[in-house]
Amino acid sequence: MSLITNHMPTSELQALDAAHHLHPFTHGHDLAKKGARVITRAKGVTLTDSDGNEFLDAMAGLWCVNLGYGRHELAEAAARQMKELPYYNTFFQTTHVPAIALADRLAELTPYDLNNVFFASSGSEANDTNIRLVRTYWQEKGHPQKNIIITRKNAYHGSSMGSASLGGMAYMHAQGGMPIPDIHHIDQPHWWAEGGDMDPNEFGLQRARALEEAILELGEDRVGAFIGEPIQGAGGVIIPPETYWPEIQRICDKYNILLIADEVICGFGRTGKWFGSETMGIRPHIMTVAKGISSGYAPVGGSIVCDEVAEVLNNCEFSHGYTYSGHPVTCAVALENLRILDEEGIVEQAGSETAPYLKEKWESLADHPLVGEAKVIGLMGSIALTPDKASRAKFASVAGTVGLMCREHCFANSLIMRHVGDRMVISPPLIITKDEVDQLIVRASRALDLTHKQLIDEGMMKAAS
Ligand SMILES: *Cc1c(COP(=O)(O)O)cnc(C)c1O
C-alpha cells in the first residue's frame, strides 16, 4: 500500500511543524503532544498520509474539493497561464482575459440577474467586501444610516474581522474584539437542537420572523442587509425547515433589505443544483462564492451582485480591492474546474444519481442507538449524536467531547468525517461513486459502534435495556 516516498520520517516532519508552523483552529499544545497528520497525496476521494495510510475524504478537504483530487487539467491550466501572464492586477482600469472569462462564465451560471462579479481570494475576503459593498450601496442611494447587517448565531462566514463578525460563533468573537459595530445576530433555524416541542415548520416560521422583529426593533431605516448560508455548513450542516427561506425572502422584500446568500459551501453543486439558492428557493441580491468555484485547487472567491446593486455601485469609485482580486492563474484554474463540472455533467450526476443514493444510506444511520437525526441534502449531511433520541438530549460532557471521540474512531477506520460539537458532518467530493458511498457508510457505522461502546464502557451512556 505504501508507495516510495522521499520525505523525512513523519516524526521529524511533525516536530518541525510543531516548532515553526502556527495552525488555524488547532490547540498548540495538542499539536506539540500528538503531532499533526501529514497528508502527502490524493486522488479521487482518497487521501494518503506520510505513513502510507489511506483515508476516504468525506469532507472534500474543507468542503471545497467538489471535483475530487488529482485532475491534471487544472494543473495544466495553471501552468499555461503562469507562462503567459502570471500576474497582473485589475485595479485602475486594467483587466486581463482570465478575469473577463471567469466573470462572464459566472454571470452565465448564476440564476436571476446576478451578472456582476467582484473578485477576492477567499470567502472571508468576499464577505468583507460584502459589508463595505452593502454599506456603500445604501450610502450612494442616500441612506448612509442603513448600515446594519442582520445575521445569525452559529453562522459561519469566514475568519477575518468583518466576516467573523458576520459569523455567529461565540468562541470566535471571544478572541480579538468582535463583532465590529452594526452587525446584529438573530437565532438560527436549528429545530433539532432548539425547536423543543414545536412542529418543525412552525419553528421555521418563528425563526424567520425573528428577522422581522429585529428589523422593527432596530428600525427599517437602519437595516441594510441580511446574510445567511442557504444551509449552514460549519455550524453543523443544519438544513432549515422548508418554511424558513420563503418567509425570510418575504421579509427582505417587504422591508427593502438586501439579501446575501453565502454560497461558499452550497455553491457549485454541493446541494445537488449549481447553487443552494436554487435548491432552497432564494432570490438573493448578492451571492458570496469561494471553495467549490475552483474545487480548492487555487484560492478564488468573490461577490456576485445583481444588476441594480452593480448599477448603484458603479456611480462611485468603490475604494476597495485586493492585490489578487481576479488573479489570472486562479481564474484560469476556476474556469477549468467549471468547464469540467459542466461538461462531465458532474453537478447533474451528483444531484440526480448520487444524492438520492446517499440519502437512503445516510438516513438509515438514524437507526443507530447513538444517532438522533440523520439529514442530508445533495451531498452534504449531518448526524446528531445523543444519549436519548426521544428527548433529543445533549450529552452531559462538554459539547464536542463525544463528537471528537467519534471523529477519532473515523480516522482509525480510514474515514475523514468532521465533528461540530456533538454533530458529525460530511461533504464528500461530488464525484464520489456509489461504491465509495457504501464504504463511507460502513466505516461511519463502525465508528458509531465503537463510539457507543466507548461511551458505555466509560459510563457516559447507559446500555439499552
Ligand atoms: C468557508 C466559508 C467561508 C470562508 O471562506 P474562506 O475561504 O475560508 O475565507 C465563508 N462562508 C462560508 C459559508 C464558509 O463555509
pLDDT digits (tens, 9 = 90+) for 347-384: 999 999 999 999 999 999 999 999 999 999 999 999 99
- Say yes or no: 143 and 21 in one domain: no
Q: Is residue 169 part of a domain?
A: yes
pLDDT surpasses 80 at 6: no
**Which residue among 343, 375, 402 closes a domain?**
343
Q: Please, are residues 261 and 164 in contact by the beta-carbon 8 Å criterion?
A: no
User: Domain check: are 33 and 161 in the same one?
Assistant: no
User: Ligand 1 centre from 458 Cα, in Å?
Assistant: 37
Q: Tens of pLDDT along 199-245?
A: 999 999 999 999 999 999 999 999 999 999 999 999 999 999 999 99
- Asked if residue 314 and residue 171 are part of one domain, the reply reads yes
Average pLDDT of the chain to the nearest whole number: 96
Structure confidence at residue 404 (pLDDT): 97
Same domain, 169 and 225: yes
Residue 31 lies in a domain: yes
pTM higher than the cut 0.95: yes
Give, as one character, the DSSP assignment of residue 321: -
Q: Please tell me whether residues 131 and 280 are part of one structural domain.
A: yes
Cα–Cα distance, 85 to 331 (Å, whole number): 12
What CA dihedral angle connects 188, 193, 198 and 203, to 10 degrees? 10
Final residue of a structural domain among 343, 375, 401: 343
Number of the ligand 1 atom closest to the C-alpha atom of 122: 7
Q: Are residues 166 and 310 in the same domain?
A: yes
The domain in which residue 32 lies consists of: 10-70+346-457
Tell how far the Cα of 295 is from the centroid of ligand 1, in angstroms: 13
Report d(CA 211, CA 150) in Å as an integer: 8
Say yes or no to pLDDT of 32 above 90: no
User: Is 405 part of any domain?
Assistant: yes
Q: Select from 23, 11, 16 the least CA-distant residue to 51.
A: 11
* CATH at 431: 3.90.1150.10
d(CA 113, CA 96): 23
Examine residue 4 and state whether it is found in any structural domain, yes or no. Answer: no
Same domain flag for 120 and 139: yes
Classified as helix, coil or strand, 47 is strand
Residue 1 has pLDDT above 50, yes or no: no
- Backbone φ and ψ for 269, nearest 5 degrees, come out as 100, -10
Measured in angstroms, how far is the CA atom of residue 329 from the centroid of ligand 1? 21
Give the Å distances, CA to CA, from 42 to 48, 53, 325. Answer: 6, 11, 28
pLDDT at 465 over 70: no
Q: Of 436, 435, 402, 441, nearest to 419 (Cα)?
A: 402
Asked whether the predicted pLDDT for residue 185 surpasses 60, the reply is yes
- CB atoms near residue 383 (< 10 Å): 28
| Spatial contact of 288 and 303, defined as CB atoms under 8 Å apart | yes
Find out whether 464 and 369 touch, Cβ atoms under 8 Å: yes
Mark whether 235 and 112 lie in a shared domain.
yes
pLDDT number for residue 463: 81
Mean pLDDT for 247-253 is 98
Statement to judge: residues 63 and 115 lie in one domain: no
Given this model, what pLDDT does residue 5 score?
Answer: 61
The one-letter code for the residue type at 323 is T
Shortest-distance atom of ligand 1 to CA 290: 7
d(CA 262, CA 301): 11
CA–CA distances in Å: residue 105 to residues 109, 114, 261, 429: 6, 11, 19, 22
Query: Is the domain of 232 the same as that of 273?
Result: yes
Of 274, 309, 343, the residue at which a domain comes to its end is 343
Whether residue 90 sits in one domain with residue 53: no
CATH number for 314: 3.40.640.10
Q: Is residue 86 part of a domain?
A: yes
- Determine the pLDDT at residue 30: 84
Average pLDDT, integer, range 47-75? 97
For residue 79, give the amino acid letter. A
- For residue 462, being part of any structural domain is answered with no
User: What number does the ligand 1 atom closest to the CA of 232 have?
Assistant: 13
Residue 429 lies in a domain: yes
What is the percent of the chain with per-residue pLDDT over 70, rounded to a whole number? 99
Q: Are residues 43 and 115 in the same domain?
A: no
Q: How many domains does the chain have?
A: 2
Flag whether 463 is in a domain: no
3-class state of residue 31 by DSSP: helix
Using most ligand atoms within 8 A of CB, pick from 157, 161, 188, 260 the residue to mutate for ligand 1: 157
Residues within a 6 A CB radius of ligand 1: 63, 122-124, 127, 156-158, 229, 233-234, 262, 264-265, 290-291, 301
Average pLDDT over residues 387-400: 94
Say what the pLDDT of residue 358 is.
Answer: 98
- Give the residue-averaged pLDDT of 82-86: 98
Residue 88: closest CA among 78, 98, 103? 98
